[in-house]
Structure 1
Amino acid sequence: MRVILFTLLCSLAGLASAQFQFFEQMFNQGGQQQQQQQQQQQAQNVASDSEWYQRTYESAHCSNYLCPGTLACVHFPHHCPCPFPAVEDKVELGDGSAICVSKGGWKQGEAARKIELARKGML
């Protein structure tokens, strides 16, 4: 009877040990996966200085005008596209320049109308 009881206790102890090892491996691998994800995110971040932009700007080939905000090659500065056209409207000013302004939920052309009113001192 004692042998059976001893064997049963040893079996239960072995089972418990195997169960703890399973959970330890599971949680340890989760920690490793989280650490790998953090390393990948850090690898994707760009530096906070402007070296990347300067290198890209200097290596861009453009025979006309290179837009500083988008690095697009256009014939004239006021032809530069807005960097975020989904949320910005480009408004050409009368002096051959253009600006990009937030659409801000206004209806089509509302940003240009408000800028023109502001230029006239009416807003």
Structure 2
Amino acid sequence: MELFNILFLTLSLFGLTVKAQFGFFDQMFGGGGGHQHQQQQQQNVRSDSSWYQAQYDGAPCSNYLCPGTLSCVHFPHHCPCAWDSFEDKVELGDGIAVCASKGGYQEGETAKKIELARKGLL
């Protein structure tokens, strides 16, 4: 029995020494192992819709909650564009609005192009 305890203790110490040695090299040379990789994955947003649905369901709004921006507005066509520095909002009438990529250098160019497309001219 005493031989078993000595053998067990020796193997345990050997295992700890090996782990300490490689842990040192990981830290020394920037390895870090899987721990850093796990932290990175925990910060990423899930690829399914459950995260978005949870945000939507948890957003307090007594009027209309815009699905694209989670802004609370009085009417759906009041929803802001998600990327307002890159998109123009164009109201189509009947309370419908769309966001489209900015059309160029002139003010209102996006609205003109959308109107031409609606008429079948573009």
Measure the CA separation in 1 of the matches of 2:62 and 2:41.
Answer: 36
Which segments of 5 or more consecutive residues in structure 2 lack a partner in the other structure? 1-23
* Matched positions, count: 100
Which piece of structure 1 moves more, 68-77 or 57-66?
Answer: 57-66
Compute the displacement of 1:113 (Å).
0.6
Q: Does 1:74 align with 2:73?
A: yes
Q: Does 1:30 align with 2:27?
A: no
Measure the CA separation in 2 of the matches of 1:63 and 1:70.
Answer: 16
Q: Does 1:116 align with 2:115?
A: yes
Larger of the two Rg values belongs to structure: 1
After TM superposition, the score normalised by the length of structure 2 is 0.69
Measure the CA separation in 1 of the matches of 2:109 and 2:92.
Answer: 15
Q: Alpha carbon RMSD of aligned pairs, Å?
A: 2.4
Structure 1 residue identity aligned to 2:29: Q
Compute the displacement of 1:27 (Å).
7.5
Measure the CA separation in 2 of the matches of 1:103 and 1:92.
Answer: 14
Closer, same or farther: CA 75–110 of 1 in aligned 2, 3 Å? same
Which piece of structure 1 moves more, 100-109 or 42-51?
Answer: 100-109
- Asked if the contact 2:65–2:71 (Cα under 8 Å) also holds between the matched residues in 1, the reply is yes
Measure the CA separation in 1 of the matches of 2:70 and 2:41.
Answer: 26
After TM superposition, the score normalised by the length of structure 1 is 0.69
The 3-state SS of whatever aligns with 1:92 is strand
Aligned to 1:54: 53
